[in-house]
Amino acid sequence: MTLRISVIGTGYLGTTLAAGLAEFGHEVIGVDIVPEVVKKLNAGQPHMFENGLEHLLEQHTRSGRLRFTLDYDDIADWADVHFLALGTPELPDGSADLSQLHATIDALAPKLTKPALVVGRSTVPVGTAPALQERLRRLAPAGDGIELAWQPEFLREGFAVGDTLRPDRLVFGVQSDHALRLLKQVYAIPLSEETPVITCDLATAELIKQAANTFLATKISFINAMAQLCQVAGGDVTVLADALGLDARIGRGHLSPGLGFGGGCFPKDIRALAVRADELGVNVLSDLIKSVEVINSAQRVELAELAIDQLGGEIAGKKVAVLGAAFKEGTDDTRDSPSLTVADYLHDRGAIVEVYDPQAHLAPRDGFTQVGSVIEAVRDADIVLHLTAWPEFRYLDPAELAPLVRSKIIIDGRLKLHAPTWRDAGWKLVQIGRAA
Protein backbone atom coordinates (compact mmCIF):
# COMPACT_ATOMS: atom_id res chain seq x y z
CA MET A 1 0.00 0.00 0.00
CA THR A 2 1.35 3.39 -0.99
CA LEU A 3 1.75 5.85 1.85
CA ARG A 4 2.44 9.57 1.87
CA ILE A 5 5.62 10.17 3.79
CA SER A 6 7.59 13.25 4.73
CA VAL A 7 11.26 13.14 5.63
CA ILE A 8 12.38 16.20 7.56
CA GLY A 9 16.11 16.91 7.31
CA THR A 10 17.99 16.01 4.15
CA GLY A 11 21.47 15.20 5.35
CA TYR A 12 22.96 11.91 4.26
CA LEU A 13 20.42 9.94 6.32
CA GLY A 14 17.36 11.97 5.29
CA THR A 15 18.23 12.13 1.61
CA THR A 16 18.97 8.42 1.40
CA LEU A 17 15.87 7.57 3.40
CA ALA A 18 13.64 9.76 1.21
CA ALA A 19 15.03 8.18 -1.97
CA GLY A 20 14.77 4.67 -0.47
CA LEU A 21 11.13 5.19 0.58
CA ALA A 22 10.31 6.36 -2.96
CA GLU A 23 12.01 3.21 -4.24
CA PHE A 24 9.70 1.18 -1.93
CA GLY A 25 6.79 2.75 -3.86
CA HIS A 26 5.69 5.52 -1.48
CA GLU A 27 5.04 9.16 -2.27
CA VAL A 28 7.72 11.13 -0.49
CA ILE A 29 8.43 14.78 0.23
CA GLY A 30 11.75 15.75 1.81
CA VAL A 31 11.95 18.97 3.79
CA ASP A 32 14.97 21.13 4.48
CA ILE A 33 15.65 24.71 5.52
CA VAL A 34 18.47 25.35 3.04
CA PRO A 35 17.13 26.61 -0.32
CA GLU A 36 20.19 25.53 -2.35
CA VAL A 37 19.97 21.99 -0.97
CA VAL A 38 16.28 21.71 -1.85
CA LYS A 39 16.93 23.08 -5.33
CA LYS A 40 19.74 20.62 -5.97
CA LEU A 41 17.76 17.65 -4.68
CA ASN A 42 14.74 18.57 -6.81
CA ALA A 43 17.10 18.49 -9.78
CA GLY A 44 17.95 14.91 -8.79
CA GLN A 45 21.44 15.76 -7.54
CA PRO A 46 22.73 14.73 -4.12
CA HIS A 47 24.68 17.31 -2.14
CA MET A 48 27.15 14.74 -0.85
CA PHE A 49 29.00 11.80 -2.40
CA GLU A 50 27.20 8.55 -1.64
CA ASN A 51 27.42 5.50 -3.88
CA GLY A 52 24.23 4.88 -5.87
CA LEU A 53 22.32 7.83 -4.42
CA GLU A 54 22.39 10.00 -7.51
CA HIS A 55 20.81 7.25 -9.60
CA LEU A 56 17.98 6.76 -7.10
CA LEU A 57 17.34 10.50 -6.74
CA GLU A 58 17.30 11.05 -10.48
CA GLN A 59 14.94 8.15 -11.01
CA HIS A 60 12.39 9.19 -8.40
CA THR A 61 12.44 12.95 -8.87
CA ARG A 62 11.68 12.08 -12.50
CA SER A 63 8.98 9.49 -11.65
CA GLY A 64 7.26 12.17 -9.52
CA ARG A 65 7.27 10.01 -6.37
CA LEU A 66 9.92 12.16 -4.72
CA ARG A 67 10.24 15.89 -4.28
CA PHE A 68 11.74 18.33 -1.83
CA THR A 69 10.36 21.48 -0.26
CA LEU A 70 11.17 24.30 2.14
CA ASP A 71 7.55 24.62 3.23
CA TYR A 72 6.03 22.67 6.12
CA ASP A 73 2.56 23.48 4.74
CA ASP A 74 3.32 21.06 1.87
CA ILE A 75 3.66 18.12 4.26
CA ALA A 76 1.85 18.83 7.52
CA ASP A 77 -1.58 17.35 6.90
CA TRP A 78 -0.51 15.65 3.67
CA ALA A 79 1.68 12.90 5.12
CA ASP A 80 0.59 9.74 6.93
CA VAL A 81 4.02 9.45 8.50
CA HIS A 82 6.65 12.09 9.23
CA PHE A 83 10.26 10.96 9.65
CA LEU A 84 12.64 13.17 11.62
CA ALA A 85 16.15 12.81 10.19
CA LEU A 86 17.87 15.70 11.92
CA GLY A 87 21.43 15.89 13.11
CA THR A 88 22.26 15.75 16.82
CA PRO A 89 25.74 17.28 16.84
CA GLU A 90 28.00 17.39 19.86
CA LEU A 91 27.87 20.20 22.41
CA PRO A 92 31.10 21.33 24.10
CA ASP A 93 30.40 19.09 27.14
CA GLY A 94 30.02 16.02 24.90
CA SER A 95 26.24 15.81 25.19
CA ALA A 96 23.95 15.78 22.14
CA ASP A 97 22.59 19.06 20.80
CA LEU A 98 18.86 18.46 20.30
CA SER A 99 18.10 21.96 19.03
CA GLN A 100 17.43 20.86 15.43
CA LEU A 101 14.85 18.36 16.67
CA HIS A 102 13.20 20.96 18.89
CA ALA A 103 13.15 23.58 16.12
CA THR A 104 11.59 21.07 13.73
CA ILE A 105 8.86 20.12 16.17
CA ASP A 106 8.15 23.79 16.82
CA ALA A 107 7.75 24.36 13.07
CA LEU A 108 5.77 21.20 12.29
CA ALA A 109 3.50 20.67 15.29
CA PRO A 110 1.32 23.82 15.02
CA LYS A 111 0.40 22.70 11.50
CA LEU A 112 -0.70 19.17 12.46
CA THR A 113 -4.47 19.29 12.63
CA LYS A 114 -5.03 15.58 11.81
CA PRO A 115 -3.72 12.50 13.66
CA ALA A 116 -0.26 11.47 12.41
CA LEU A 117 2.67 9.27 13.25
CA VAL A 118 6.02 11.02 13.74
CA VAL A 119 9.04 8.72 13.66
CA GLY A 120 12.39 9.81 15.09
CA ARG A 121 15.48 8.51 13.27
CA SER A 122 18.15 10.67 14.91
CA THR A 123 20.63 9.30 17.43
CA VAL A 124 19.52 10.67 20.79
CA PRO A 125 20.18 10.19 24.50
CA VAL A 126 17.78 7.82 26.22
CA GLY A 127 14.73 9.71 27.47
CA THR A 128 14.55 12.14 24.55
CA ALA A 129 11.56 10.60 22.73
CA PRO A 130 8.93 10.98 25.49
CA ALA A 131 9.95 14.62 25.97
CA LEU A 132 9.61 15.24 22.23
CA GLN A 133 6.22 13.56 22.16
CA GLU A 134 5.03 15.78 24.99
CA ARG A 135 6.19 18.86 23.06
CA LEU A 136 4.48 17.65 19.86
CA ARG A 137 1.18 16.99 21.58
CA ARG A 138 1.28 20.32 23.41
CA LEU A 139 1.88 22.31 20.23
CA ALA A 140 -0.23 20.35 17.71
CA PRO A 141 -3.92 21.15 17.21
CA ALA A 142 -4.38 17.37 16.80
CA GLY A 143 -3.05 16.94 20.37
CA ASP A 144 -3.00 13.33 21.54
CA GLY A 145 -3.74 12.24 17.98
CA ILE A 146 -0.02 12.69 17.34
CA GLU A 147 2.08 9.68 18.24
CA LEU A 148 5.83 9.44 18.32
CA ALA A 149 7.76 6.27 17.45
CA TRP A 150 11.53 5.77 17.39
CA GLN A 151 13.33 3.87 14.68
CA PRO A 152 17.11 4.06 15.01
CA GLU A 153 19.13 4.02 11.82
CA PHE A 154 22.19 1.91 11.13
CA LEU A 155 23.34 3.30 7.79
CA ARG A 156 27.03 3.35 7.03
CA GLU A 157 28.37 6.17 4.92
CA GLY A 158 29.46 4.72 1.59
CA PHE A 159 26.82 1.96 1.85
CA ALA A 160 23.83 4.10 2.80
CA VAL A 161 21.70 3.17 -0.21
CA GLY A 162 22.20 -0.58 0.20
CA ASP A 163 21.69 -0.32 3.97
CA THR A 164 18.37 1.50 3.37
CA LEU A 165 17.02 -0.83 0.71
CA ARG A 166 18.25 -4.01 2.39
CA PRO A 167 18.62 -3.29 6.12
CA ASP A 168 20.10 -6.06 8.30
CA ARG A 169 17.40 -5.39 10.89
CA LEU A 170 14.59 -2.97 11.62
CA VAL A 171 14.04 -1.68 15.13
CA PHE A 172 10.63 -0.21 15.85
CA GLY A 173 10.23 1.59 19.17
CA VAL A 174 6.46 1.97 19.37
CA GLN A 175 3.68 2.67 21.84
CA SER A 176 0.66 1.30 19.96
CA ASP A 177 -0.43 -1.38 17.50
CA HIS A 178 -1.44 1.40 15.13
CA ALA A 179 2.13 2.75 14.98
CA LEU A 180 3.51 -0.74 14.46
CA ARG A 181 1.05 -1.44 11.64
CA LEU A 182 1.96 1.80 9.91
CA LEU A 183 5.71 1.16 10.18
CA LYS A 184 5.18 -2.32 8.77
CA GLN A 185 3.43 -0.73 5.78
CA VAL A 186 6.29 1.72 5.30
CA TYR A 187 8.79 -1.16 5.25
CA ALA A 188 6.57 -3.75 3.57
CA ILE A 189 9.24 -4.51 0.94
CA PRO A 190 12.22 -5.25 3.23
CA LEU A 191 9.84 -7.08 5.59
CA SER A 192 8.64 -9.26 2.72
CA GLU A 193 12.31 -10.16 2.21
CA GLU A 194 12.42 -11.48 5.77
CA THR A 195 14.36 -8.65 7.34
CA PRO A 196 14.38 -9.34 11.09
CA VAL A 197 12.34 -6.87 13.09
CA ILE A 198 12.70 -5.94 16.73
CA THR A 199 9.69 -4.29 18.34
CA CYS A 200 10.35 -2.51 21.63
CA ASP A 201 9.64 0.51 23.79
CA LEU A 202 11.01 3.98 23.10
CA ALA A 203 13.87 3.82 25.63
CA THR A 204 15.17 0.52 24.27
CA ALA A 205 15.00 1.83 20.70
CA GLU A 206 17.00 4.92 21.65
CA LEU A 207 19.58 2.82 23.49
CA ILE A 208 19.99 0.17 20.78
CA LYS A 209 21.52 2.73 18.43
CA GLN A 210 23.97 4.16 20.93
CA ALA A 211 24.86 0.67 22.14
CA ALA A 212 25.52 -0.53 18.57
CA ASN A 213 27.88 2.34 17.77
CA THR A 214 29.62 2.09 21.13
CA PHE A 215 30.09 -1.65 20.80
CA LEU A 216 31.56 -1.27 17.30
CA ALA A 217 33.88 1.51 18.50
CA THR A 218 34.94 -0.72 21.39
CA LYS A 219 35.84 -3.52 18.98
CA ILE A 220 38.02 -1.10 17.02
CA SER A 221 39.80 0.20 20.11
CA PHE A 222 40.26 -3.34 21.41
CA ILE A 223 41.99 -4.48 18.24
CA ASN A 224 44.09 -1.31 18.17
CA ALA A 225 45.22 -1.93 21.75
CA MET A 226 46.15 -5.48 20.65
CA ALA A 227 48.06 -3.93 17.74
CA GLN A 228 50.12 -1.96 20.26
CA LEU A 229 50.84 -5.18 22.12
CA CYS A 230 51.77 -7.00 18.90
CA GLN A 231 54.08 -4.13 18.07
CA VAL A 232 56.15 -4.65 21.20
CA ALA A 233 55.71 -8.40 21.48
CA GLY A 234 56.35 -9.16 17.82
CA GLY A 235 52.96 -10.63 16.87
CA ASP A 236 50.90 -9.95 13.75
CA VAL A 237 47.65 -8.17 14.58
CA THR A 238 45.94 -8.88 11.24
CA VAL A 239 46.44 -12.62 11.64
CA LEU A 240 45.18 -12.25 15.19
CA ALA A 241 42.08 -10.34 13.99
CA ASP A 242 41.40 -12.99 11.34
CA ALA A 243 41.61 -15.73 13.94
CA LEU A 244 39.34 -13.88 16.38
CA GLY A 245 36.89 -13.12 13.59
CA LEU A 246 36.40 -16.77 12.78
CA ASP A 247 34.83 -17.24 16.18
CA ALA A 248 31.15 -16.65 15.33
CA ARG A 249 30.65 -15.09 18.77
CA ILE A 250 33.21 -12.39 17.95
CA GLY A 251 32.94 -11.86 14.17
CA ARG A 252 35.52 -10.14 11.95
CA GLY A 253 33.51 -6.91 11.42
CA HIS A 254 35.00 -3.71 12.87
CA LEU A 255 38.10 -5.58 13.96
CA SER A 256 40.38 -3.97 11.37
CA PRO A 257 43.28 -2.35 13.16
CA GLY A 258 44.86 0.91 12.11
CA LEU A 259 44.25 4.58 12.65
CA GLY A 260 40.99 4.04 14.51
CA PHE A 261 37.59 5.56 14.09
CA GLY A 262 36.48 9.05 13.12
CA GLY A 263 33.55 10.58 11.25
CA GLY A 264 30.35 12.26 12.28
CA CYS A 265 28.94 9.31 14.25
CA PHE A 266 31.15 7.13 16.45
CA PRO A 267 33.13 9.88 18.21
CA LYS A 268 30.11 12.00 19.05
CA ASP A 269 27.73 9.13 19.77
CA ILE A 270 30.00 7.36 22.23
CA ARG A 271 30.71 10.62 24.06
CA ALA A 272 26.99 11.40 24.25
CA LEU A 273 26.35 7.93 25.72
CA ALA A 274 29.12 8.47 28.27
CA VAL A 275 27.59 11.81 29.34
CA ARG A 276 24.12 10.27 29.64
CA ALA A 277 25.46 7.27 31.57
CA ASP A 278 27.19 9.65 34.00
CA GLU A 279 23.99 11.68 34.39
CA LEU A 280 22.15 8.49 35.26
CA GLY A 281 24.89 7.36 37.64
CA VAL A 282 26.12 4.44 35.53
CA ASN A 283 29.79 5.33 35.71
CA VAL A 284 31.04 1.85 34.82
CA LEU A 285 29.79 2.47 31.30
CA SER A 286 31.28 5.93 30.95
CA ASP A 287 34.61 4.58 32.26
CA LEU A 288 34.61 1.93 29.56
CA ILE A 289 33.80 4.51 26.88
CA LYS A 290 36.54 6.85 28.08
CA SER A 291 39.10 4.05 27.67
CA VAL A 292 37.82 3.40 24.14
CA GLU A 293 38.35 7.09 23.34
CA VAL A 294 41.80 7.24 24.92
CA ILE A 295 42.97 4.29 22.79
CA ASN A 296 41.43 5.84 19.69
CA SER A 297 43.11 9.23 20.10
CA ALA A 298 46.42 7.58 20.93
CA GLN A 299 46.46 5.76 17.59
CA ARG A 300 46.62 9.06 15.71
CA VAL A 301 49.51 10.39 17.80
CA GLU A 302 51.29 7.04 17.65
CA LEU A 303 51.18 7.05 13.88
CA ALA A 304 52.39 10.64 13.59
CA GLU A 305 55.24 9.93 16.01
CA LEU A 306 56.14 6.82 14.04
CA ALA A 307 56.48 9.00 10.93
CA ILE A 308 58.81 11.35 12.81
CA ASP A 309 60.89 8.38 14.06
CA GLN A 310 61.21 7.04 10.52
CA LEU A 311 62.77 10.34 9.52
CA GLY A 312 65.34 10.18 12.29
CA GLY A 313 63.39 12.25 14.82
CA GLU A 314 63.22 15.46 12.79
CA ILE A 315 60.32 16.25 10.47
CA ALA A 316 60.66 20.04 10.08
CA GLY A 317 61.11 20.90 6.40
CA LYS A 318 60.46 17.31 5.28
CA LYS A 319 57.79 16.58 2.71
CA VAL A 320 55.03 14.23 3.84
CA ALA A 321 52.60 12.75 1.30
CA VAL A 322 49.25 11.90 2.89
CA LEU A 323 47.05 9.49 0.96
CA GLY A 324 43.45 9.98 2.06
CA ALA A 325 41.63 12.80 3.84
CA ALA A 326 38.15 11.30 4.32
CA PHE A 327 37.49 9.63 7.67
CA LYS A 328 37.07 6.36 5.79
CA GLU A 329 36.88 5.12 2.21
CA GLY A 330 33.72 5.52 0.13
CA THR A 331 32.81 8.98 1.41
CA ASP A 332 33.86 12.61 1.00
CA ASP A 333 33.21 13.24 4.69
CA THR A 334 36.21 14.58 6.62
CA ARG A 335 34.54 15.13 9.99
CA ASP A 336 36.93 14.10 12.77
CA SER A 337 39.09 12.39 10.18
CA PRO A 338 42.03 10.53 11.73
CA SER A 339 44.09 11.26 8.65
CA LEU A 340 43.67 15.02 9.04
CA THR A 341 44.64 14.83 12.73
CA VAL A 342 47.89 13.17 11.67
CA ALA A 343 48.41 15.74 8.89
CA ASP A 344 47.84 18.63 11.33
CA TYR A 345 50.17 17.10 13.91
CA LEU A 346 53.00 16.80 11.41
CA HIS A 347 52.35 20.21 9.91
CA ASP A 348 52.48 21.74 13.40
CA ARG A 349 55.97 20.23 13.73
CA GLY A 350 57.17 21.88 10.54
CA ALA A 351 56.48 19.23 7.90
CA ILE A 352 55.39 20.23 4.40
CA VAL A 353 52.24 18.18 3.99
CA GLU A 354 50.51 17.38 0.71
CA VAL A 355 47.22 15.51 0.85
CA TYR A 356 45.43 13.60 -1.87
CA ASP A 357 41.93 12.16 -1.61
CA PRO A 358 39.82 10.81 -4.47
CA GLN A 359 36.57 12.43 -3.19
CA ALA A 360 37.03 14.73 -0.21
CA HIS A 361 37.50 18.41 -0.92
CA LEU A 362 39.18 20.21 1.92
CA ALA A 363 38.19 23.74 2.77
CA PRO A 364 41.17 26.04 2.30
CA ARG A 365 43.21 25.66 5.49
CA ASP A 366 46.45 26.79 6.92
CA GLY A 367 49.42 24.68 6.36
CA PHE A 368 48.93 21.81 4.10
CA THR A 369 48.01 21.61 0.48
CA GLN A 370 45.51 19.36 -1.22
CA VAL A 371 46.73 18.01 -4.53
CA GLY A 372 44.91 16.34 -7.41
CA SER A 373 46.69 13.00 -7.69
CA VAL A 374 48.79 10.43 -5.89
CA ILE A 375 51.68 11.26 -8.22
CA GLU A 376 51.65 14.92 -7.20
CA ALA A 377 51.39 14.03 -3.53
CA VAL A 378 54.33 11.63 -3.52
CA ARG A 379 56.66 13.61 -5.79
CA ASP A 380 59.82 14.41 -3.76
CA ALA A 381 58.21 13.06 -0.58
CA ASP A 382 60.44 12.06 2.32
CA ILE A 383 57.70 9.77 3.59
CA VAL A 384 54.32 8.54 2.34
CA LEU A 385 51.42 7.92 4.74
CA HIS A 386 48.51 5.71 3.71
CA LEU A 387 45.74 6.96 6.02
CA THR A 388 42.36 6.28 4.36
CA ALA A 389 41.74 2.84 2.90
CA TRP A 390 40.46 3.85 -0.56
CA PRO A 391 40.63 0.75 -2.79
CA GLU A 392 42.60 2.67 -5.44
CA PHE A 393 45.51 2.98 -3.00
CA ARG A 394 45.68 -0.80 -2.74
CA TYR A 395 46.31 -1.01 -6.47
CA LEU A 396 49.11 1.55 -6.62
CA ASP A 397 52.23 0.32 -8.33
CA PRO A 398 55.08 0.82 -5.85
CA ALA A 399 57.67 0.39 -8.64
CA GLU A 400 56.11 3.28 -10.56
CA LEU A 401 56.11 5.54 -7.50
CA ALA A 402 59.64 4.64 -6.36
CA PRO A 403 61.57 7.00 -8.71
CA LEU A 404 59.37 9.95 -7.70
CA VAL A 405 60.05 10.00 -3.97
CA ARG A 406 63.08 11.20 -2.03
CA SER A 407 62.99 8.19 0.26
CA LYS A 408 61.03 5.02 -0.19
CA ILE A 409 59.32 4.91 3.20
CA ILE A 410 55.60 4.29 3.53
CA ILE A 411 53.54 3.91 6.69
CA ASP A 412 50.40 1.89 6.07
CA GLY A 413 48.08 3.36 8.69
CA ARG A 414 45.20 1.13 7.63
CA LEU A 415 47.10 -2.16 7.29
CA LYS A 416 45.57 -2.71 3.91
CA LEU A 417 48.57 -2.56 1.55
CA HIS A 418 50.15 -5.76 0.29
CA ALA A 419 53.43 -5.60 2.16
CA PRO A 420 55.49 -8.04 -0.01
CA THR A 421 54.67 -6.07 -3.20
CA TRP A 422 55.95 -2.85 -1.68
CA ARG A 423 58.99 -4.44 -0.11
CA ASP A 424 59.91 -6.24 -3.35
CA ALA A 425 59.88 -2.82 -5.06
CA GLY A 426 62.47 -1.57 -2.55
CA TRP A 427 60.17 0.26 -0.13
CA LYS A 428 60.37 0.24 3.63
CA LEU A 429 56.73 -0.42 4.55
CA VAL A 430 55.76 0.03 8.20
CA GLN A 431 52.52 -1.14 9.81
CA ILE A 432 51.72 -0.79 13.53
CA GLY A 433 51.23 -4.28 14.95
CA ARG A 434 52.88 -6.19 12.09
CA ALA A 435 56.54 -6.93 12.03
CA ALA A 436 58.49 -5.83 8.94
154 is in an annotated binding site: yes
Q: What character string, x for contact with ligand UGA (CB under 6 A) and - otherwise, covers 115-154?
A: --------x-----------------------------xx
CB atoms within 10 A of CB 425: 15
Structural contact between residues 211 and 289, judged by C-beta atoms closer than 8 angstroms:
no
* Comparison of 61 and 299: residue with beta carbon closer to ligand UGA: 299
Cβ at position 193, least distance to ligand UGA in Å:
19
Q: Is the dihedral of CA 205, 22, 85, 46 positive or negative?
A: positive
Which pairs count as long-range contacts for 50-54, CB under 8 Å and 24+ apart, including other chains?
50/12, 50/15, 50/16, 50/157, 50/158, 50/160, 50/161, 50/331, 51/158, 51/159, 51/160, 51/161, 51/330, 52/161, 52/162, 53/15, 53/16, 53/19, 53/160, 53/161
The C-alpha torsion from 83 through 263 and 130 to 81, rounded to 10°, is 10
The piece of 33-41, 196-204, 255-263, 280-288 that touches ligand UGA (CB under 6 A) is 255-263
Instruction: Please confirm, yes or no, whether 265 is among the known catalytic residues.
Output: yes
Cβ at position 259, least distance to ligand UGA in Å:
6
Q: Which of 57, 265, 289, 396 is catalytic?
A: 265
Which candidate, 338, 325, 340, 344, places its Cα nearest to that of 393?
325
88 is in an annotated binding site: yes
Contact flag: residue 319 with ligand UGA (CB under 6 A): no
Contact flag: residue 258 with ligand UGA (CB under 6 A): yes
182 is in an annotated binding site: no
Which candidate, 80, 90, 87, 95, places its Cα nearest to that of 28?
80
Cβ at position 49, least distance to ligand UGA in Å:
13
Q: Which residues ranging from 183 to 222 are in contact with ligand UGA (CB under 6 A)?
A: 213, 216, 220
Longest dimension (CA), the chain: 73
Which residues, in sequence order, are bridge partners of residue 4? 27
Contact flag: residue 255 with ligand UGA (CB under 6 A): yes
Contact flag: residue 155 with ligand UGA (CB under 6 A): yes
90 is in an annotated binding site: no
* Comparison of 20 and 258: residue with beta carbon closer to ligand UGA: 258
Cβ at position 218, least distance to ligand UGA in Å:
11
The piece of 19-27, 63-71, 227-235, 249-257 that touches ligand UGA (CB under 6 A) is 249-257
Which of 172, 327, 390, 427: binder of ligand UGA (CB under 6 A)?
A: 327
* Comparison of 262 and 433: residue with beta carbon closer to ligand UGA: 262
DSSP characters over 4-42:
EEEEE--SHHHHHHHHHHHHTT-EEEEE-S-HHHHHHHH
Cβ at position 353, least distance to ligand UGA in Å:
20
Alpha-helical regions (H) of 329-382: 338-348, 374-378
| Rounded distance between C-alpha atoms, residue 347 and residue 367, angstroms | 6
* Comparison of 269 and 302: residue with beta carbon closer to ligand UGA: 269
| Rounded distance between C-alpha atoms, residue 148 and residue 102, angstroms | 14
Residues labelled as active-site residues = 265
Query: Which residues contribute to the annotated binding site for NAD(+)?
Result: 32, 88, 123, 157, 268, 335
Binding site for ligand UGA (CB under 6 A): 123, 153-157, 213, 216, 220, 254-256, 258, 260-263, 265-266, 269, 327-328
